[in-house]
Amino acid sequence: MREPIRQYALELGFDVCRFTSAAPPESAPRFQSWLADGRNGEMGYLQRNAEKRADPQRVLPGAATIVTLATSYATASTCECKIPGPASAQLEGPDSKLNYQHSQGRNRPAGIVARYARFTDYHHVLGDRLKDLVKYMCRIGGEETRSLWYVDTGPFLERDIAQRAGLGFVGKHTNLINRRLGNWFFIAEIISTLRLNADLPEKNRCGSCTRCITACPTAAITAPFQLDARRCISYLTIELKGAIPVELRAAIGNRIFGCDDCLAVCPWNRFAQEGNLMMQHARPELAEPDLLDLLALDDQGFQRRFAGTPILRTRRRGLRRNVCVALGNVGAVATLSALEQAARDPDPLIGEHARWAIEQIQKRTKETSSAS
């Protein structure tokens, strides 16, 4: 029954469909050690469902198979390997340099949104298709078949399971790499009582390459295959709810939602192809949003602008915090008025980050004046 399921998955828009057993992932002890070291930061949900992540039988008793699926979100501009130049104290990744130069050209500073978030929320896009695939599996497997689907929400060590299924291999940046899709794809799973033969696992193909480690602006990749989430810009701008550590703010540059630097430099991206399904849900206006416009959004404006996108996850409060940091790194004197207003925000989180941004701009202005 594997091939009919695989074929239907491709017809639904998934780019790759692979199968593995529902046995515990071999990486479970390493995951437990990672949690014990506190490298998950404030992501307490990882600790709360750690037992399920270590044993798929706790997710669905009697499970026999996990179907793993990949959906590309690559665009023409991402289907290449980009190697950053010399590191800068404020802007280190290839995307940040390009976006910063563009924003300065129009005299309005722009932010950077991670590429996966420049679409309608993938949870919704893929979730609808996973429902159809589960129904199909139940029809061909019989009424006793039980299946559950997840899109980046299930209590799985999904990258390790996907590697065991041959969907890709976990790179030194700890993300999954597919030889045909590069780094630019979403992962989804269906865990099922349907018993299907497993595909062969993928082996690691990083070789001696360390570009992702070098590219990380905050040194969050502490060693090959080891990530300290507490330093990761994706964590700092999305998951972290409180203040961003002062010592990491400059390295964030003008990234306001996530970071792609370790993904963008991977040589496997040269083989990536544009994703047909996600291109239908592209939101190009999210790629380089105007930072001053974002800072001025009220609650209703935030909800309207980002409805149906992953950016809702950070909420207006988190986004304004991130925008203040970005302006502190790339803003000019003309942005001080907006930041001074933000500094008077009754929320102390916003006020503190706005004041930090003002200090950074004033410091740069003074240094520029002294140099001239």
**8 Å CB contact between 230 and 41:** yes
Taking the C-alpha atoms of residue 237 and residue 243, their distance in angstroms, rounded to an integer, is 10
Q: Which of 39, 21, 22 is nearest to 30 (CA)?
A: 39
- Residue 332 backbone phi and psi in degrees, to 5: -110, -175
DSSP state of 143: T
| Residue 86 CB neighbour total at 10 angstroms | 5
Is 199 one of the annotated active-site residues of the chain? no
Query: DSSP 3-state assignment of 238?
Result: helix
C-alpha distances out from residue 87 to 78, 93, 346, Å: 21, 8, 36
The separation between the first and the last C-alpha atoms of the chain, rounded to the nearest angstrom, is 73
**Active-site pick, 132, 152, 199, 293:** 152
Show the tokens assigned to 123: 């949870």
**Which are the catalytic amino acids?**
152
